[in-house]
Amino acid sequence: MMKRTPSGKILTELILEAFRLNGALLDAGNRITKPLGLTSARWQVMGAIELAGQPLTVAQVARRMGLARQGVQRIINDLERLEMLELKSNIDHKRSPLVSISAKGKRVMAEVNKAQIAWVNKLAEGLGIRKVEQALKLIQSVSDRLEQQK
Element (H, E) at 80: helix 69-81
* Sign of the dihedral defined by the CA atoms of residues 37, 42, 46, 47, in that order: positive
Residue type, 84: M
pLDDT of residue 90: 87
In which residue ranges of the chain is pLDDT below 70? none
pLDDT of residue 92: 82
pLDDT of residue 95: 83
At 58-101, the pLDDT tens digits run 999 999 998 899 999 999 999 999 999 999 988 888 788 999 99
pLDDT of residue 109: 97
Domains in the chain (CATH in brackets) are 18-148 (1.10.10.10)
